[in-house]
Amino acid sequence: MKITRKTVVRCLFMCMFLIAFMSTQRIDAEAASKKSQAVKAYKKFLSKKTINWNNGKKKVQSSKCKFGLVYIDKDSVPELFVDASGAGTQHIDGAYQLYAFRKGKVRLVCNITDMFSYYKKTGIFITGTMLHGEYISYRKLTGASERLRLRTETVYSTQYFDAKNNKLTKAQFDLKLKKLVGKKKASIPKCYSNSAKNRKKLGRAF
């Protein structure tokens, strides 16, 4: 049988397609496995009697907390948001904490005083403090750490700054923020009481 150049090209194309397909399947399976590991670790973490708060300066009863999953960075593994505002925390303690699953462990990203929102799968999240004014920070999540990208201060009027504390106009600030998040709008986590029933649903219903 004569093998034509057209047949060879078709065979090569099919081989490339199969390799790409199998590679995608493998990546999807790995992502699903990592998400499953994260959810399992979050369930175990939330099942503890107490949670260390404000860098270990306080312990809060986990049963009085609420939790939610958020997707801040671009992977398929969620971060864990914990709301302890109903667990006896004071302003100085911070009302919320953000965690990420990295290298097989649940790791604290940051403690948050008053306000939290995020831009889904951009890596950017917002934290805020309201005390003698409003202080808002736009932060970039990288692994289990974060770094400041932009911030605002509002006392009598709003001032805008970059990560190096250089003052910006509102137009400059808006342009920099758009480069970070595109057209996405900030989302607020949907939280659930930390009950055994809700933990069981973690990763499925929410």
On whether residue 24 sits in a domain, the answer given is: no
Grade residue 33 by pLDDT with cuts at 50, 70 and 90: confident
**pLDDT tens-place string over residues 77-96:** 999 999 999 999 999 999 99
In 3D, which of 58, 107, 51, 56 has the Cα closest to residue 83? 51
Identity at 85, one-letter amino acid code: S
Residues 6+ apart with CB under 8 A from 12: none
On whether residue 15 sits in a domain, the answer given is: no
Can you tell me whether residue 36 is helix, strand or coil? helix
On whether residue 10 sits in a domain, the answer given is: no
**In angstroms, rounded to a whole number, what is the distance separating the alpha carbons of residues 145 and 45?**
19
On whether residue 12 sits in a domain, the answer given is: no
**pLDDT tens-place string over residues 42-74:** 999 999 999 999 998 999 999 999 999 999 999
Element (H, E) at 205: none
Kindly tell me if the per-residue pLDDT of 14 is higher than 80.
no
pTM value is 0.83
On whether residue 11 sits in a domain, the answer given is: no
**In angstroms, rounded to a whole number, what is the distance separating the alpha carbons of residues 177 and 156?**
23
Q: β-pairing, 50-53 with 115-119?
A: unpaired
162 lies in which domain range? Answer: 40-201
On whether residue 112 sits in a domain, the answer given is: yes
On whether residue 119 sits in a domain, the answer given is: yes
Number of domains in the chain: 1
**In angstroms, rounded to a whole number, what is the distance separating the alpha carbons of residues 101 and 76?**
11
In 3D, which of 59, 58, 78 has the Cα closest to residue 70? 78
**pLDDT tens-place string over residues 148-193:** 999 999 999 999 999 999 999 999 999 999 999 999 999 999 999 9
